[in-house]
Amino acid sequence: MKTVTILGATGSVGTSTLDLIEREPDRFRVVALTANCDVTKLAAAAIRTQAEFAVVADEKCLPALREALAGTGIRSGGGGEAIAEAASSGADWTMGAIVGCAGLKPVMAAIEQGGTVVIANKEPLVSAGDVILAAAKRTGATLLPADSEHNAIFQCFDATRPERVRRIILTCSGGPFRDWTTEQMRGVTLEQAVKHPNWSMGAKISVDSATCMNKGLELIEAARLFPIAHDRIEIVIHPQSVIHSLVDHVDGSVLAQLGPPDMRTPIAHTLAWPDRMATPMAPLDLVAIGRLDFEAPDPVRFPALRLAREALDAGGARPAILNAANEVAVEAFLQRRIGFLEIAAIVEHTSSCYDPAVPDSVDAVLAIDAEARILAGERVKDYAV
C-alpha cells in the first residue's frame, strides 16, 4: 500500500488527486491533507479518506477545523509549521498542489523526506529551481511532474540520452483570448478571464492561462526539469489541448503524448509510476475530435511569453521576480483592482527595476519574492481603479 500526502487537497489538482485515490482504497492510504482555509472541504476529505492529519495554513481556521473533526480521531493542525509537519509526514508519495510560491517551503519539507514528490505547483520551481533540484539530489527524492505538458515530456524524453533530443515543443491552448486583439483584451472581465475553453482549474492558473503567463512559467519549469538548452524549448499554440507536448529527436522522430484535458491522467501517471493505473476517463476519440490545429504564439499580443523567456535567459533572481510580480498582479486582477493588460505591465515594470544577487537558498529566494511583491504592490496602486 502506498502512503499519500496531498498539499493543497481542497484545490482543483487536490480534488482530482483525491478522486483517483478514493477509487482505489486498497492501493493508497492517506497520511496528511492540507488546505489554506477551506475547512468544510478539507474536513470532509479527511473523514472520507480516514486521513491521519489535516492542516489549515491559516491559523484562524484551526478552531473550525478542530470542531469539524471532533470525535473522528483525525489530528488537526494550523499554520506554517503544521503544514511543514504534514509535508514531512514521510509519505511514499506527496502531491505539491498549493498555489503560488506559498508552496515552496512545504515542497522543500517534502523533498527532505526523500520520497516521491509530485510537482503540480509550478511557481516554486520557477522561483527556486536550482535550490529545489539541489535538495532533491542531496536527499534522493524523486521529483515527478504533474503539469500536463511536463508530464507529457517526461513520458517522451529519454533522460539517459538527452543528446538525442533536438527540441521540446510545449503546447499551449492559447486561452480564451487567443484570437482577440490587444484593444479587445483591454476590456476583459474577471468572469471572461477565468473561463478556460478546455480545462477546469483554480482561479490563479486560469488567469495565467488567459495572459499566457502560465505557458511562460511552464517554459521556465521545462528548462528546470529537462536537460536541454533554453532555445530548444519551443511553444506552439494547439487550441484543442489534446497533444500535451512533444519531444523532437535528432533523427526527425517526434514523440507526443495525447490525452483528454483532464488532470487525472497526468496525476494517475505519477501515482502509479513506473507502473500504470486505470482512470475513469473515456478513451480518446480521435474521430470525434476530427482535427488538431497548430499556430505560432504571438508574444506581442501576449507579452507574458516574452517576459518569461527574458527571465529564463537572464537567470539568477529574475524568474523569482517575474513570478512574485505576477502573483501580486493576478491577485489584484482577481480583486478587480486592475485591468487585464496591466498584469503583464506590472510584471515588466517590477522585472526592470529590481536586480538582486543570485539567490542560493530558500530564505534568499523568499527575501527576493517578498521585495518583488512590495514593488509590484506599489505599481498596482498606480493602476488601481
Ligand X SMILES: NC(=O)c1ccc[n+]([C@@H]2O[C@H](COP(=O)([O-])OP(=O)(O)OC[C@H]3O[C@@H](n4cnc5c(N)ncnc54)[C@H](OP(=O)(O)O)[C@@H]3O)[C@@H](O)[C@H]2O)c1
Binding site for ligand X (CB under 6 A): 8-14, 35-38, 57, 83, 97-99, 102, 120-123, 147, 199, 201-202, 204-205, 263
Nearer to ligand X, 147 or 369 (CB): 147
Axis crossing angle, helix 122-139 with helix 213-225, rounded to the nearest 10? 10
Q: Is 44 within 8 Å of 80 (Cβ atoms)?
A: no
For the bound state, the minimum distance from the C-beta of residue 296 to ligand X, rounded and expressed in Å, comes to 23
333 phi and psi, to 5 degrees? -65, -40
Axis crossing angle, helix 148-156 with helix 264-272, rounded to the nearest 10? 50
CA distances (Å), origin 62, targets 49, 70, 326: 20, 12, 29
- Which residues are CB-contacts of 324 (< 8 A; sequence separation ≥ 6)? 101, 127, 350, 368, 369, 370, 372, 373, 376
For the bound state, the minimum distance from the C-beta of residue 34 to ligand X, rounded and expressed in Å, comes to 6
Nearer to ligand X, 11 or 115 (CB): 11
- Which residues are CB-contacts of 262 (< 8 A; sequence separation ≥ 6)? 16, 281
Strands 93-96 and 2-7: parallel
For the bound state, the minimum distance from the C-beta of residue 79 to ligand X, rounded and expressed in Å, comes to 10
For the bound state, the minimum distance from the C-beta of residue 59 to ligand X, rounded and expressed in Å, comes to 11
Nearer to ligand X, 12 or 89 (CB): 12
For the bound state, the minimum distance from the C-beta of residue 147 to ligand X, rounded and expressed in Å, comes to 4
Nearer to ligand X, 199 or 273 (CB): 199
For the bound state, the minimum distance from the C-beta of residue 371 to ligand X, rounded and expressed in Å, comes to 19
Axis crossing angle, helix 213-225 with helix 203-211, rounded to the nearest 10? 100
Q: Cell 510560491, residue?
A: 101
Nearer to ligand X, 78 or 239 (CB): 78
- Residue with the CB atom nearest ligand X in the bound state: 11
Nearer to ligand X, 113 or 265 (CB): 265
